[in-house]
Amino acid sequence: MARNMSHSKAVEPLADSMTSLERSSTLKERAYQQIKSGLLTGKLPHDTIASVPLIAKKLGISRTPVREAFLDLEKEGLIRILPKKGAVANRISPEGKHEIFLIRDALESAVVARLADSITDGQIAALRKIIERHKETPRGEAGWDDFILVDREFHLSMASFAGFGKIREILTNIRDLMELIGREALSSHGRREHIFKEHEKILAALEKRNEREARKAIRHHLSATERSLKS
């Protein structure tokens, strides 16, 4: 009996510790998501310093989860940490932007090449619905968040349909970086309508199961998007 009681006492602190760790992880995730949302929606503009104490106070949590969230966001290239100050949204250089598009070209060309051989009628219908929803997003700056969200869905859905889980994971991170600069592309005159047409050409090539045409369409789309960005 004493042995069982001793065992119980030993387990209780361990259980308490696990609960604390789980709570800490949840708080870090909450801070991470809140800061990331601010970055990707433009609510945390470039050159605006986000301090650990201020964010912690706003979220009603301690500073440690915020610091941990900062470290994760820095690893992803979304922020730069300024010692003893806080963090700012990462300003991606022209060279960095070009590298992003080189990676996207390589990965998304592989995606459409696989899809041209394997895409189903149901997947084609799903991509077409995404394009139609894309066209229905509100015009102007007020609709940019919705526009970018559906654009992201179109590209990541193709990776999912192709069965490329790891490529989708990489593209998800790259899309986050893209969204730091995506509003620049949208502010380019007439770019919105061109994106719709380019997506339709990609889908038309996939519907014909034409690998060469699909590669050409995705590369044209990415090249046009890169050209629309302001340096």
pLDDT value of residue 89 = 81
Provide, rounded to the nearest whole percent, the portion of the chain with pLDDT above 90.
Answer: 42
Class of residue 122 by CB neighbours under 10 A (exposed 0-12, middle 13-18, buried 19+) = exposed
Name which of 229, 116, 109 is nearest 180 in CA terms: 229
Would you give the end-to-end CA distance of the chain in angstroms? 74
Which residue has tokens 């990489």? 170
Cα-Cα-Cα-Cα torsion 227, 216, 132, 226, nearest 10 degrees, comes to -10
CB 68 within 8 A of CB 21: no
Which overall architecture, per CATH, does domain 2-89 show? Answer: Orthogonal Bundle (1.10)
pLDDT value of residue 223 = 95
pLDDT value of residue 30 = 86
pLDDT value of residue 209 = 97
pLDDT value of residue 60 = 87
Residue range 94-228 in CATH 3.40.50.300: no
> Domain coordinates of the chain in residue numbers?
2-89, 94-228
pLDDT value of residue 75 = 87
Q: What is the pLDDT of residues 49-67, one digit of tens each?
A: 788 888 888 888 888 988 9
pTM of the full predicted structure?
0.74
Give the whole-angstrom CA distance, residue 89 versus residue 43: 11
Name which of 97, 154, 102 is nearest 131 in CA terms: 154
pLDDT value of residue 160 = 97
Q: Which of the residues in the chain have pLDDT under 70?
A: 1-25, 42, 45-47, 182-189, 230-231
pLDDT value of residue 168 = 96
Give the whole-angstrom CA distance, residue 149 versus residue 146: 5
